[in-house]
Amino acid sequence: MKNEEIILQAEKEFEVRFSEVDSMNIVWHGSYALYFEDAREAFGRKYGLEYLYIFEQGFYAPLVELHFEYKRPLKYPEKGRIQITFRNTNAAKIIFDYRLFSALSGEPVASGYSVQVFLDKDYALVWSSPDFFLRWKQINGLSI
């Protein structure tokens, strides 16, 4: 298998909570950022790229870009399923693509992506991928 064919992906199913919907009983747009965050945490647990691990390596990984495309409303008390896929790049960034579906019908609900960069402990932008991140990519069979 070639490196570019390797796909690192995780999924998470969730229940829409009443606190996440607006007066129309549909998920408020701001809740999608939380669903994406939950997906990043599930991915980190599955592949050993948790936020605490990044921090322990001497770095922060703040979001610098977050993009959503809405397909159809998700309603209370519907269940959703979010799929997260790592997008490999040579840049010193962590990029994820997301696809959110209705868990019952399988219909697409939303999609999007996020971009994180690396900061050192002094909050300075890191322009080259940290060694730990390059090792992580190598361990997971990704080209570096």
Q: In the prediction, which pLDDT does 5 show?
A: 78
Question: What is the 3-class SS of the chain, one letter each residue?
Answer: CCHHHCCCEEEEEEECCHHHECCCCEECCCHHHHHHHHHHHHHHHHHCCCHHHHHHCCEECCEEEEEEEECCCCECCCEEEEEEEEECCCCCEEEEEEEEEECCCCCEEEEEEEEEECEECCCCECCCCCHHHHHHHHHCCCCC
The answer as to whether 144 is a domain residue is no
The answer as to whether 100 is a domain residue is yes
Q: Which residues is 95 bridged to in the sheet?
A: 87, 115
Q: In the prediction, which pLDDT does 143 show?
A: 78
Tell me the pLDDT of the chain (144 aa) as tens digits. 454 579 999 999 999 999 999 999 999 999 999 999 999 999 999 999 999 999 999 999 999 999 999 999 999 999 999 999 999 999 999 999 999 999 999 999 999 999 999 999 999 999 999 999 999 999 999 976
Task: Tell me the Cα Rg of the chain.
Answer: 16
d(CA 125, CA 128): 9
Read off the pTM. 0.93
Range of the domain at 111: 3-139
126: domain CATH number is 3.10.129.10
Q: In the prediction, which pLDDT does 74 show?
A: 95
Q: In the prediction, which pLDDT does 8 show?
A: 98
When divided into structural domains, the chain yields a total of 1
d(CA 118, CA 94): 8
